[in-house]
């Protein structure tokens, strides 16, 4: 279950460089994205009886660094306490990624702990090559997969920002983000709201951004073998408020049987990193 959380939050907070649909970088069109450290408090919103979840709370810490010259690194940690009829458990998911400045290569490492014991580890590299996405896994076992061409998560969010600036309101795009078992792409349906202002919700914790314009974004994720997105239900969906520099707040993550909210509680803007 916690693997899904990583994908949702990665999509909502990933920050790197923009790749246009032709696969060529378009940095001139994208506002520089802000290195930052964000903390989110996560709470259970709703849960069906089938989910088996009686309660849940946790905290996410996300940090982004980098530039278009050196590439971009992200670190993500989500610690949660899940309460169910069979007892409580504490999960700790730690993910680190690197995406190069062209968006053509992506490295990922995820370690998942349950009650302080390592449950699984996933490590691999993905490259875009000859119209495909080639995945080489090192852990848990060596393996190679050739998948459909897809954007990596940071390129995906910057593609989103460019489309929003161009006035698009709904579109589809494939993504590979290294979550789950690291062996599949997902099709996303993205809905973009108009630019808005206002200090609602957790905006008070957004520091210098609290009065800046943002837009509401929702993204639905469909498995690669589920057919076209219009023909079935998504695996999960996320919604969030997105600033032009990539910072997000007011997260909602819907997994069908249960949903979570993520409130921005702390935002530290880090020194900008530029090409020398």
Q: How far apart are the first and last CA of the chain?
A: 42
Listed by start position, the domains of the chain span: 2-269
- Is the pLDDT score of 10 beyond 50? no
Q: What is the pLDDT of residues 214-225, one digit of tens each?
A: 999 999 999 876
Q: How confident is the model at residue 72 (pLDDT cuts 50, 70, 90)?
A: confident
- Is the pLDDT score of 78 beyond 50? yes
Q: What is the pLDDT of residues 90-116, one digit of tens each?
A: 999 999 999 998 889 999 999 999 999
The pLDDT value given to residue 168 = 96
27 burial via Cβ count (<10 Å: 0-12, 13-18, 19+) = middle
- Is the pLDDT score of 51 beyond 90? no
Per residue in 182-209, is it b (16+ CB within 10 Å) or e — as a string? bbbbbbbbbebeeeeeeeeebbebbeeb
Q: How far is CA 275 from each of CA 29, 33, 34, 92, 102, rounded to the nearest angstrom?
A: 16, 13, 14, 35, 14
Could you give the 3-state DSSP secondary structure of residue 111? strand
pTM for the whole structure: 0.85
Smallest Cα–Cα separation from 95: which of 177, 200, 209?
Answer: 177
**Residues 183-201: what's their mean pLDDT?**
91
Q: What is the pLDDT of residues 153-164, one digit of tens each?
A: 888 888 998 999
- Tell me the two tokens of residue 221: 């994720």
Q: How confident is the model at residue 52 (pLDDT cuts 50, 70, 90)?
A: confident
For the chain, how many residues are written? 276
Other C-beta atoms closer than 10 Å to the C-beta of 167 total: 8
């Amino acid at each position: 279950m916690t693997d899904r959380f990583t994908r949702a939050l990665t999509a909502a907070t990933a920050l790197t460089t923009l790749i246009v649909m032709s696969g060529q970088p378009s940095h001139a069109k994208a506002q520089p994205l802000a290195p930052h450290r964000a903390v989110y408090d996560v709470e259970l919103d709703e849960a069906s009886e089938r989910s088996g979840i009686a309660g849940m709370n946790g905290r996410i810490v996300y940090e982004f660094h980098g530039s278009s010259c050196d590439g971009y690194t992200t670190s993500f940690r989500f610690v949660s306490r899940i309460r169910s009829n069979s007892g409580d458990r504490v999960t700790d998911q730690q993910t680190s990624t690197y995406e190069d400045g062209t968006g053509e290569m992506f490295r990922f490492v995820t370690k998942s702990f349950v009650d302080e014991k390592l449950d699984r580890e996933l490590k691999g590299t993905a490259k875009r090559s000859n119209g495909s996405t080639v995945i080489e896994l090192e852990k848990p076992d060596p393996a190679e997969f050739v998948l459909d061409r897809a954007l990596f998560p940071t390129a995906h969010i910057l593609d989103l920002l460019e489309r929003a600036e161009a006035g698009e309101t709904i579109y589809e795009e494939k993504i590979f983000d290294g979550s789950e078992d690291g062996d599949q792409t997902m099709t996303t349906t993205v809905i973009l709201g108009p630019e808005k202002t206002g200090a609602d919700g957790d905006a008070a914790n957004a520091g210098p951004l609290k009065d800046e314009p943002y837009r509401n974004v929702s993204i639905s994720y469909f498995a690669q073998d589920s057919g076209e997105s219009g023909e079935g239900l998504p695996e999960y969906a996320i919604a969030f408020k997105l600033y032009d520099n990539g910072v997000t707040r007011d997260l909602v993550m819907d997994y069908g049987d249960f949903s979570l909210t993520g409130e921005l509680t702390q935002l530290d803007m880090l020194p900008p990193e530029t090409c020398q």
